[in-house]
Each structure stands twice: as C-alpha cells, then as structure tokens.
Amino acid sequence: MSKLLIHGAKKLQGEVNIHGAKNSTLPLMAASLVCGGKCILHNCPSLSDVDTSERILNHLGCRVKRSDGDIEIDPTSADGYNIPDDLMREMRSSIIFLGAIVARMGKAILSYPGGCELGPRPIDLHLMALRRMGVIINEDHGSLNCVVPNGLHGAVISLSFPSVGATENILIAAVLAEGTTVINNAAREPEICDLADFLNSCGAKIRGAGESTVTIEGVKRLSGCEHRVIPDRIAAATYLAAGAATGSTLTVSDIIPKHLEPIVPVLEESGCVLKTNGNKMTIIPPKRLHRVKSIRTMPYPGFPTDAQAPIMAMLSVADGTSVFVENIFESRYKHVGELLRLGANIKVEGRVAIVDGVEKLSGASVEATDLRGGAALVVAGLTAYGTTEISGLNHLDRGYENLERNLRNLGADVKRI
C-alpha cells in the first residue's frame, strides 16, 4: 500500500498548471456515446476515474485511444448496453452513462451505484427524469433494467434540487430525443456548460446551460467534434488553499478565474490577497490567516462542497473560529477525525463544523477516506511540523494528476513510498 510522506511547515513558491476538470471529463466521455462520429477531447487529466470511464467505453464497444491529455473516442461500433457491477462500484459517477446508453441503445442494464463515502447518493432525480422522457425502469435487487419502448421524447422536468449528475444525464438523453426538453432548476456548474458546449459542437440544440432553465431541442443525429476540457476549479482551489495554509505566495495557471469566484470571498476574508492576470491567479496570504465567519456549501455559484475539506484544513491554522455548514452532502466531514490527529481543533454537530484555529499542526499518520478529504490532509500535512504520513492514496488519485510532482515543484518535501 503506498503512502504519501510530507515533511511539512515549509514555504512553497512558484506556479502550478491546473489540469483539466475531472468532473467535466467524465460526463464528456459518457456523452461521446450519443455522437455519430469520432470525438477528440483535449486537456483530459490522467486520473483513475478517467481510466474507469475508458474501461466502461471499451466495454460498451467504443474504440478509445489516449495519448498525453488527449482522448479520442470512436463510438460508431458501440453496441453494449450493460455496465458490469465492478465498474459501477469503482466509480459512483458511472451513473452518468445511463442517459447515454438508453439514448443510443434504447435499453440499459446497470447496477445501482449505491451509497458512498459522502453518505447516501440517491439517484431518484436521474430516474424520475428519464422516466418522464419515456424510459421504463425496473429496479430489482440493486440492478436497473431500462427499456425505451417508443423512443425518448422531450419533457418538462423540474428538479427538486439542482443535481449536477441528474442535469448531465438529462442533457445527454435529451439531445437526440423527439421534441423539446425543458429542465427547471437545472444545475448551473461550469461543468454543465462544458457538456452543453461539447454537445452543441456536435450539432445539439441546447440553450440556457449555466442558467436555471435549460432547453434542449432534440435533433436526429449528432456528429463528432474536438473539444478542450475546462480547467479543474477544485484542483485550483486545493493548491490555493495549500498556499494560504503555508503562508506561501503561489500562482495557479491555466485556470478560468470566473470559475473560482465562489471561493474568492472566503480566501479574501481569511486575509489573502488574490491577483488575477489572464488565466492565472496568485494568492498572497497574510502572516497569519484570519478566521472566516461562516462558509455554507451551496450549488454553483455558491461555495462548492468539493472545496469544503481543503479550505477547512487551511482554516484549522487560522486565528479565530470559522464555522462551516455543509448543505450538499449528509456525511462530508470524515476528514475531521484525521485533522484532529494532526492537532486541529474542530467540532462537528450534524451539518455544522466549528473550527477553532490552532497556532500549528504537527505531523501524524492519517488516512484519506474520500477524494477531497484526502486533499484536506495534504493541505494540513504541508503546514504541519514534522512528518505526516497519508494512506488511502487511491482516493487522491481519482482527482489530482501529478500531485506529488506539482507539490515538489512548488518546493514541498513530499514523496510517495
């Protein structure tokens, strides 16, 4: 089992290039299934979740080629309609393939993705939407048997919560459906816009992506296209948090500054100065971080739940008390127990976490139990005196490309053993 060893409390400096967004790449790979020709995706990160998506596409009969950050997907020979249980379990977001498979094949057999390290991850909104579009879904002992007897048709779908995954599944299913689909209370995340841009480049007719109401006029057929994946705003937020926590001036590059707007007020309230120059952002932290009164995770453009853990690690060494309210996932404070081992002072009451900043953290053995929780441990380990040993790296490898190399380039003393 590999571990990350961090000799912390060192200043970082320099610039880190931010890789393409995991949360865009995965739905884009799924969406390529509904295209009528070859799709080339640029700026794809090399991550284990991307490997899993590639295996799913291969299993479904697509031809996939990868080199560096490019993924070429030829869906023309795809004829599969089931995803084996082990692939469904490997990556919970494999449910994003459901809309694409039913749209292409008129049927699908998938196992239920089940609960996860963030608490239960229901898919009722995905299923409700697809049912409204003409999919008959039988749920039987954890498996989903889907058929589309009369083809997919447009529908008006009002989501009770702006679910990112459900919005993506609807978009992908609706582009080839008969008639018009309207999504009310759609998710507005940048990854939704990226997916809509990709599908529109293939000939889809999607309007309003990035707004609460999205309209999709079904077309008969899509072509392929070439598309560049947007930068990973959560990876950028993680490196900025690492800079702030270690009192280091550093720059994230290849970003879209607008996508970081939801986290900027929090970084500023902590006393950091942020300078944006084109596609780069530099963080200049104060001598000691200030507490941030309250941070509530919200759907975009609110503060992202995915940045909650790394920012909490950062504020665990701030001067004063910061309060977090996690509104998106039920159980997203698993990193807190591990941060306590490093000397943080954090209390959790249901969806609220109260972080009393300490002067310094000290190294310990800790375990990542989920992706962003793992990122929090890296941020904390970089600030901690002594050696921090992080296990559970499979979680980190799902979302951060070249993490150790990037940190070493910034001057951190990090190695994988």
**So which residues are the catalytic ones?**
116
- The residue from 47, 62, 155, 164 that contacts ligand UD1 (CB under 6 A) is 164
Nearest approach, Cβ of residue 329 and ligand UD1 (Å): 5
The strand pairing partners of 140, in sequence order, are 143
Comparing CB distances to ligand UD1, the nearer of 258 and 408 is 258
Distance, CA of 40 to CA of 50 (rounded, Å): 14
Rounded Cα distance, 315 and 322, in Å: 7
Nearer to ligand UD1, 80 or 162 (CB): 162
How many residues make up the chain in this entry?
417
122 preceded by cis ω (within 30°)? no
> Taking each helix axis from N to C terminus, what angle separates 164-174 and 22-31, rounded to the nearest 10 degrees?
30
The Cα–Cα gap between 348 and 401 comes to 31
Q: How many CB atoms lie within 10 A of CB 402?
A: 14
124 vs 108: CA distance, rounded Å: 17
Main-chain phi, psi angles of 389, to 5 degrees: -115, 115
- Total residues binding ligand UD1 (CB under 6 A): 20
* Residue range at the interface with ligand UD1 (CB under 6 A); choices 32-40, 162-170, 202-210, 287-295: 162-170
Specify the DSSP class assigned to residue 107. E
Give the residue, chosen from 31, 44, 105, 166, that forms a contact with ligand UD1 under the rule CB under 6 A: 166
Stretch that binds ligand UD1, among 163-171, 216-224, 287-295, 314-322 (CB under 6 A): 163-171
Which x/- pattern, by CB under 6 A, does the window 235-274 give for ligand UD1?
----------------------------------------
Picking from 381, 374, 382, the residue whose alpha carbon sits closest to that of residue 250 is: 382
Q: Which of residues 3-42 bind ligand UD1 (CB under 6 A)?
A: 23, 26
Does position 165 bind ligand UD1 by CB under 6 A?
Answer: yes
User: For ligand UD1, which is the closer residue by CB, 82 or 93?
Assistant: 93
Q: Which is nearer to ligand UD1, 125 or 236 (CB)?
A: 125
Question: Cα–Cα distance between 87 and 111 in angstroms, integer?
Answer: 9
Which residue lies nearest ligand UD1, judged by its C-beta?
165
Give the range of 80-88, 157-165, 280-288, 383-391 binding ligand UD1 by CB under 6 A.
Answer: 157-165
Residues between 288 and 347 with contacts to ligand UD1, criterion CB under 6 A = 305-306, 328-329
Q: Is 163 in the site for ligand UD1 (CB under 6 A)?
A: yes
Residue 186 is a binding residue for ligand UD1 (CB under 6 A): no
- Which CB atom, from 93 or from 215, has the smaller least distance to ligand UD1? 93
- Catalogue the E-assigned strands of 201-358: 205-207, 214-217, 226-228, 250-253, 273-277, 280-284, 294-296, 321-325, 345-349, 352-356
- Cα–chain-centroid distance for residue 402? 17
Alpha-carbon distance of 391 to 389, in angstroms, equals 7
Residue 72 Cα to chain centre, angstroms: 21
**Which is nearer to ligand UD1, 101 or 250 (by Cβ)?**
101
The distance in angstroms from the start CA to the end CA of the chain is: 9
Instruction: Return the residue of 6, 123, 135, 379 that touches ligand UD1, per CB under 6 A.
Output: 123
Whole-number minimum distance, CB 73 to ligand UD1, in Å? 18
How many angstroms separate the Cα of 27 from the Cα of each of 119, 124, 327, 332, 370? 22, 18, 24, 23, 20
> Which residues between 191 and 230 bind ligand UD1 (CB under 6 A)?
191
Residue with Cβ nearer ligand UD1 (250 or 379) = 379
Interface with ligand UD1, residue 66, by CB under 6 A: no
Is the CB of residue 17 less than 8 Å from the CB of residue 254? Answer: yes
Minimum CB–partner distance for residue 345 and ligand UD1 (Å): 26
Residue 124 interacts with ligand UD1 (CB under 6 A): yes or no: yes
Q: Which is nearer to ligand UD1, 163 or 248 (CB)?
A: 163
Q: Work out which of 14, 114, 122, 151 binds ligand UD1, going by CB under 6 A.
A: 122
To ligand UD1, the closest distance from the beta carbon of 126 in angstroms equals: 5
> Scanning residues 92 to 111, which ones bind ligand UD1 (CB under 6 A)?
93
What are the φ and ψ backbone dihedral angles of 302, each rounded to 5 degrees?
-80, 180
Q: Is 207 within 8 Å of 215 (Cβ atoms)?
A: yes
Q: Which residues bind ligand UD1 (CB under 6 A)?
A: 23, 26, 93, 121-126, 161, 163-166, 187, 191, 305-306, 328-329
